[in-house]
Chains A and B, each alone.
Chain A
């Protein structure tokens, strides 16, 4: 009898842990009345600016570095190029919310899974506007929930200076991708990190001013 009680307790604890860990991203946040229905991201929206970043990519323990270049070429589309420090072009994409074109890619990187992952990452990074359905808050941030296909994006806007600091791309139960922004002037981000939770991939971008 006692044995089965212990078993029962153990199973209950186990279930409780599973349930807690399955809880949505918002479990620690307090719901709040919606104060806006859309949010426009400032970081890659200027068509006159060349967005040039020194880049480090860590993928399953391997390091790759180079230069990430993004430029808004029309209302909907960004051109994205990744080169080595010497200037050799490794990939050249054109990305909008709905379209995707590979202008060129070196054969070493031409793997479908990699191209698709980078396409999705860059699309999220360059996304200019989010439609908001729900709002939450924690101590430091206002958090806006925005539907994104089968997933949701959570935008973290600091209460202190109203800057977009973080985007979490999440399924109903699990965080998949985190974007972190450091921005001094809220016009462009000097430092950006793209961190994947389900694969070992991290992309770090550091803005640099050409001489």
Chain B
């Protein structure tokens, strides 16, 4: 009986390890370097994305999709195209919103969360985020993927985001999934696909 339980435990934990394994110090160093080398080369990035909002009580995730465009050093556009048009541009300390043609602007100064998320998204493609003092970071590996998990240190930010998980493609060393966990049950998962790096993108794209 004892052996059976021991075997079962071994089997379960073995399975867990097969899913996600902690990186060694050497692996962390090499992963960080890979991301840094790639991200230093990124001047522009455009990608399609699909966002899955998971709420535990819903029968289905809420799916929205669109395009994200980034240009160095800190121009960013999030554009939802389906099932509605909603676009947000981060530019010169401001957030410009176009909601089905209805336009408005928010000063990031008034919206710390937005500015932090902006910094994190940009950081995740530019490679600066591993030095971010605001998070406790842990590193994991999966088959073909690396995962960095960020837990906010700041109590205010922690109220909104329990953890941020960035999943990197091992070969390309670029972000392919962003997961924002609000609680253990509820999260937002954003999958990036059809990435194009360093295509020519005019500043005029970042108007709303």
Contacts and interface: CB of A to CB of B under 8 A. Distances in A.
Nearest to A50: B58
Interface string B44-68: 0000001101010111111111000
B60 A87 contact: no
Nearest to B110: A108
Identify the interface centre among A48, A56, A89: most chain B CB within 10 Å of its CB: A89
B156 to A, nearest CB: 8
A73 B51 contact: no
A87 B57 contact: no
Identify the interface centre among B50, B62, B65, B117: most chain A CB within 10 Å of its CB: B62
Contacts, number: 65
Contacts of B78: 86
B99 A65 contact: yes
A209 B104 CA distance: 25
A150 B82 CA distance: 43
Chain B at the A interface: mostly helix, strand, loop or mixed? Answer: strand
B113 interface: yes
A8 interface: no
A65 B84 CA distance: 12
A164 interface: no
The 10 A-B pairs with the shortest beta carbon distances in the complex, nearest first, are: A87-B188, A210-B63, A87-B53, A208-B83, A211-B63, A50-B58, A210-B62, A85-B86, A65-B99, A54-B84
23 contacts: A50-B58, A56-B102, A63-B99, A65-B97, A69-B62, A71-B58, A79-B57, A85-B80, A86-B117, A87-B53, A87-B62, A87-B180, A88-B182, A88-B188, A89-B186, A106-B159, A107-B159, A206-B84, A209-B83, A210-B62, A210-B63, A211-B63, A211-B83
